[in-house]
Amino acid sequence: MPRPAYRSRSVRRIKVKTPGGRTVIHYEKRAKGVPKCPITGLPIGGMNKKVYRFGIKIRAPSRPYGGVYSHKVLARALRLAVRK
């Protein structure tokens, strides 16, 4: 029986053949997808795909709401703010 942490389907199971000839199961975290805008669902431009290895300052664009909303949502919000 695997450890309780490895029973979850959030970890990926990989069958590996050892030098002794046995087949064992290795567990690894699943790869996370590209960050997406919560409003449009578009991938956020300027964000590194290996996003979780770096700090937020390194990985996010320097525009307002960079790394949170897509460029289309930001442009729309700026236009609405200027018009008011």
pLDDT mean values, one per 10 residues, the chain (84 residues): 91 96 94 84 77 66 82 91 92
Domain residue limits at 13: 1-30
* Residues 83, 44 share a domain: yes
pTM of the model as a whole: 0.54
* Residues 74, 62 share a domain: yes
* Residues 80, 48 share a domain: yes
Q: What are phi and psi of 67, to 5 degrees?
A: 90, -5
Per-residue model confidence (pLDDT) at position 48: 67
* Residues 23, 58 share a domain: no
* Residues 15, 1 share a domain: yes
- Report CA-CA distances (Å) from 28 to 6, 48, 83: 9, 21, 50
Q: Which residue has the tokens 């960050």?
A: 35
Q: How many domains does the chain have?
A: 2
* Residues 44, 21 share a domain: no
